[in-house]
Amino acid sequence: QKEVEQDPGPLSVPEGAIVSLNCTYSNSAFQYFMWYRQYSRKGPELLMYTYSSGNKEDGRFTAQVDKSSKYISLFIRDSQPSDSATYLCAMGVNNFNKFYFGSGTKLNVKP
């Protein structure tokens, strides 16, 4: 079983839609939960991270962590064509050397 599971998509939505991206994980020791955005032929860039459980909001983006269900989500409000990218979740315990990444969900926002 992989440490982190993520639906690869692709997910196609119209501009302005609310997008929900999700990951599940198996290791209950994970404390750091990250979301990265990766444009085609580029390196990943960190969007948001949360420590332990709870929600975190940054503009149109909201990250949620449910440790009891081992489930994390990223919501994108008022999605824009510029949000079209692959979104990677990642998580770790408290050691940066041991981040585990999901395989990524490809998102396409249609104008």
Give the residue, chosen from 49, 60, 61, 108, that forms a contact with other proteins under the rule CB under 8 A. Answer: 49
- Provide the minimum distance between the beta carbon of 72 and other proteins in the complex, in angstroms, as a whole number: 14
Identity of the amino acid at 35: W
In which element (H, E) is residue 79 found? none
Say whether residue 41 binds other proteins (CB under 8 A). Answer: yes
Instruction: State the amino acid at position 24 in one-letter form.
Output: T
Nearer to other proteins, 31 or 73 (CB): 31
Determine if 61 is a binding residue for other proteins (CB under 8 A). Answer: no
Write the Ramachandran bin of 60: left for phi over 0, alpha for psi from -120 to 50, otherwise beta: alpha
Report the alpha-carbon distance of residue 90 to residue 34 in Å, rounded.
5
Q: Which stretch binds other proteins (CB under 8 A): 9-17, 59-67, 68-76, 85-93?
A: 85-93
| Residue from the set 19, 21, 34, 63 that interacts with other proteins by CB under 8 A | 34
**Can residue 76 be called a binding residue for other proteins (CB under 8 A)?**
no
State the Cα–Cα distance between residues 2 and 39, nearest whole angstrom. 24
Evaluate whether 21 touches 106 at the Cβ level (below 8 Å). Answer: no
Binding site for other proteins (CB under 8 A): 4, 6, 8, 32, 34, 41-46, 49, 88, 90, 92, 96-99, 101-104
